Structure 1
């Protein structure tokens, strides 16, 4: 699991400070936009206290009310605020001016904080995907693909809650509360201290609910990964599901994950909605006490009616931003929980590549020297004392039951798995001394599971570093794989766009496109892991003829479950339980009447396929 947690309680570890710092590091690269947003929010906040301060002039605007005894400043006198007529002219103009500045501040703050947030999400996705493409194969073997997809799509988007909506509210409303409190202390610090008496209680409530928000947010993210997994498996295995009547089972599985997600969403909402009314109640209780005490002349400290009205107005305006501040906590915790799952992947160690040598003019000699290998440290060896030398241009077939270690052996050659030091040599150079990208550039692989992309056939054959190949070279590779004939029958030929994973092609056609991709690479080492398993007999014969021609100048490693496809191999290596137990030509091994001969006769005498990879 990418985001493990205890489903019965709060996760065992609290958010590391580095999570906050790392998010801020992304924000810091956009500091000009962030600074503009802060300026906008400061302007917005100041207009709130400015609006409250207008209320002090309101009583004097009525001719029937006694004039304020407060000494007016020079700027107030210059605006005529010592007369009712002057106040009546000043208040509407001041109100419109304040609102205008408020909306300018709202735009600057809102747009530029969103600009920062969306760029943070963009950069997180970029970094995450770039990191994924450089992780070792073992990471993907140990992590569910649906969980990885959920982190990139759902979890990263949740970071927006902590970097956009939540931060927007936190800064804007936080500055607004600060500005209003500053004004309250400026007018009457004694009453303001009483108003702040509820602050510790509010802090305790926020601290408690933050833990709940974090726990439920982690559960929601995990449930999304489960939903993604079910949908992915159903779409890929639709025919199997319908053939074996698995509809009810899959519906029940999806409903279970969906119900769990709903439960966590409602728990999050309940925690949020309970905390908000309590905080609001405490705020207005404090405000009510403030009204009562404010009428006491000893606490008013000489405030006239206008000043008291502006003070009460400012205190009342605190309630709304304070409510928004408390409600934003859920979004922040959701975003931080998502950020932790993102950084967890970003903290995964990259594929080690300490080699410095770049291959040039590779012949294709491959040698294993006393190679033993296990996937887990101190785990059961998958390969045991493998000693095998394969000459350049030689075609070697690997035969054995499932789990014998054949695929592991060829994955070591391809550089997908690091071999133990000093056990694998390519053209007499230890593999650990070769740069991985250089090694892989000289190895072409066709796996048992064909992978095609949702693009044109030409782009599928000329994939990756082969994109610069000419049209003629692509056609030649397709012809070598016996794919050109069916390609030409398609409406747009090589320009025909394929559906997801080439679903609009037959299994044999998809396999031949994958083989054509390997032919186009013209690598000196060719690995065919069940490469002809999906071909019909006629296509298989044609491809085998092409492979026979290619083997004259390529080192070819073949894993095949149909022994008829390897009869022309230069050598057959028989493996069992991670060891080489027989080696020789097809005829030599049949004459020896050993393990290989038993497999061969069992397969052809029964007309069934022996249990092999």
Structure 2
């Protein structure tokens, strides 16, 4: 079963939100103060209108009406200016908060253990990087500021209504039960519903990504129908999840509408009854009714935006969950004594109870070149990842200089051992920027050109119109598969690790180019330790020793000549590769 990246709990989300607020106290209090002042300016209108109604009832002049209208216009202008400034500060705060959230998410994502990323698949991480970040951005930029405005406005408007008289609280209380019951019912179900909805999107992305990346395999094995059926199941699950959250909204919103209408109607009826008894004036009834009517808009926004905030909270929980993945290494501070790479009684499994490696022993001498060969699925790549420190072993140990690879900080580890696979990424940017990622601080263009020359890539690099300043990657100049692999190998030359684990690093290049590249690379790697997972047996022929991996075990280990003479599995592979009808190949 695929490992799913964790989701942060409610307490962690709340703690993170509080920490973000503490990082911006000045902007936060400025925004709240401006919203409060804008709300106070808006409270003048019902009081002035109530007094005007009272004045009309008892008799007034046109001049008095004009004065009241001018006051209303003045308060409206002040409210407009304050609201504009408050929204500006709130949205500026939202942008800063969102920038911090994105930076924290990127830091957490880059810190993920490679093994966890491989186990979880790319779909979940892509959905969190795209859809969850977009939803959270919407919540932080718009929903949260608007919700804050609504809360401040509602509190102050209710206070303004109470200033008319205590009796206004009674009709307002009639709206509390439907609001409270509706909110309790909704909040108890909303988070899980939206998390399930987002998880369904992740599954759709994962299925689409896997199908696209493995399109050739799907086509060659006739799996198109199965992949379409899998996507149909994912879409059906997403439909069920979305239908559930839609049901929550269709039950919740109508229930709270009752909470809006009851107070307004009750205020008008109750105030009218008190007016007939002479206990309140017509102006007070008018002001109270207008205040309660004014409550509808902010309360409606509080309730409506609460739905957006639930979506944003679910997205934030998923983004924070990435940072909760435990590290797969614990630095002990031990210093390797040399560069000798050893695997002792190594056991490893991707799924508990189904080991891929079964007690492997392998010792790689300093400066030695080891080739690992064997049938597909034998565990070569898995062993290579353990030797590069990508995965910690479930049992046994993998050490460099007597220190476990997972006991070294990642930066220190990459100075000892580095892995390069057949999958290479070209980042969006200049060729120089792509290579400088692995260069030591202060390395100049001379070092970059030397690295390109080492992997026979300087000719095509110098032929580029802007040479090292040429923009490559998505949206820039597209590099061929061979060129992309040469860029990755040049990065290794710049990083200068002592030991390299090559996992079929040249398998996608034309065989003649691959042989030429490997020979060039061999000269560059003189004196370094190399563990090469061989795709073609000529690589094994050139190695110092050959390890044959079968069914998760190293079944043969020795030089090419020794293994051919032994007449075992390697000899059979070698004669088969050379088309030799010798009995050893059967």
Aligned counterparts, 1:135-534, within 5 A: 135-160=112-137, 162-229=139-206, 232-233=209-210, 236=213, 268=245, 271-272=248-249, 275-297=252-274, 302-357=279-334, 364-368=339-343, 370-375=344-349, 379-419=353-393, 423-431=397-405, 434-466=408-440, 468-500=442-474, 504-534=478-508
1:91 correspondence with 2:68 = yes
Q: Is the 8 A contact 1:398 1:559 kept in 2?
A: yes
Structure 2 residue 88 is the aligned partner of structure 1 residue 111:
yes
Taking the aligned partners of 2:362 and 2:549, their CA distance within structure 1 comes to 12
Q: Deviations over 1:195-225 (max 9, x none)?
A: 3123112211222233454344224323432
Cα offset, 1:482, TM superposition: 2.6
State TM-score, norm by structure 1: 0.83
Cα 1:296/1:474, change in 2 over 3 Å: closer
1:310-353 Cα deviation digits (max 9, x unpaired): 22222222222222222122112111111221222222213423
Change (3 A) 1:545 1:2: closer
Structure 1: how far apart are the matches of 2:276 and 2:171? Answer: 11
Asked if structure 2 preserves the Cα contact closer than 8 Å seen for 1:530 and 1:560, the reply is yes
Tell me if 1:132 matches 2:83: no
**Residue of structure 1 aligned with 2:38, choices 39, 44, 49:** 44
CA distance in 2, matches of 1:216, 1:433: 41
In the alignment, the residues of structure 1 paired with residue 360 and residue 406 of structure 2 have an alpha-carbon distance, to the nearest angstrom, of 17
Q: Which residue of 2 aligns with 1:73?
A: none
Matching residue of 1:592: 566
Displacement of 1:440 after TM fit? 0.8
Shift of 1:244: 8.1
Deviations 1:76-132 (Å, cap 9, x if unpaired)?
xxxxxxx74663353123212211221233123322222222222221221111112
Query: Contact between 1:383 and 1:405, CA under 8 Å: does it hold in 2?
Result: yes
Q: Distance in 1 between matches of 2:50 and 2:112?
A: 65
Aligned CA distance change for structure 1 residues 470 and 60 (closer, same or farther; 3 Å): closer
Q: 2:553: which partner in 1?
A: 579
Cα distance, 1:514 vs structure 2? 2.5
Q: Displacement of 1:596 after TM fit?
A: 1.0
SS at match of 2:502: strand
Contact persistence 1:3–1:222 (CA under 8 A) = no
1:119/1:276 Cα in 2 relative to 1: closer, same or farther (>3 Å)?
same
Cα 1:180–1:560 change in 2 (3 A) is same
In 1: Cα distance, 2:235 partner to 2:501 partner: 43
**Matches of 2:325 and 2:420, distance apart in 1:** 28
What is the DSSP-based 3-state SS (H/G/I as helix, E as strand, rest coil) of the residue aligned with 1:156? helix
CA 1:483 to 1:601, structure 2 compared with 1: closer, same or farther past 3 Å? same
- The offset of 1:238, in angstroms, is 6.2
CA distance in 2, matches of 1:122, 1:131: 14
Report whether the alignment pairs 1:33 with 2:27: yes
Instruction: Give the CA deviation at 1:419.
Output: 4.7
The offset of 1:449, in angstroms, is: 2.0
Q: Residues 580 and 60 from structure 1, CA distance in 2 versus in 1: closer, same or farther, beyond 3 angstroms?
A: closer
* Match 2:58 to one of 62, 66, 73: 66
Contact preservation (8 Å) 2:439, 2:494: no
State how far apart, in whole Å, the 1-side matches of 2:381 and 2:223 are. 31
Query: How far apart, CA to CA, are the structure 2 residues paired with 1:438 and 1:544?
Result: 27
Q: Deviations over 1:172-213 (max 9, x none)?
A: 222322223223323232343133123112211222233454
Answer with 551-560 or 450-459: which moved more: 450-459
Cα distance in 1, alignment partners of residues 475 and 389 from structure 2: 25
> Would you say the 8 A contact 2:386–2:392 is kept in 1?
yes
Deviation for aligned residue 1:530 = 1.0
Runs of at least 5 residues in structure 1 that lack an aligned partner in the other structure: 6-12, 68-82, 608-613
**Contiguous gaps of at least 5 residues in structure 2:** 582-586
Q: Which residue of 1 aligns with 2:532?
A: 558
Q: CA RMSD in A?
A: 3.5
1:207-250 alpha-carbon deviations (Å, 9 max, x no partner)? 22334543442243234324444554566456677888988887
Provide the TM-score with structure 2 as the length reference.
Answer: 0.87
Equivalent-residue separation in structure 2 for 1:585 and 1:533 (angstroms): 23
Note the C-alpha offset of 1:586.
0.7
Check conservation: 2:349, 2:394, Cα contact below 8 A: no
Report if the CA contact (8 A) 2:6-2:325 is conserved: no
Asked whether the 8 Å contact 2:171–2:270 carries over to 1, the reply is no
Q: Counterparts of 2:110 and 2:5 in 1: how far apart (Å)? A: 20
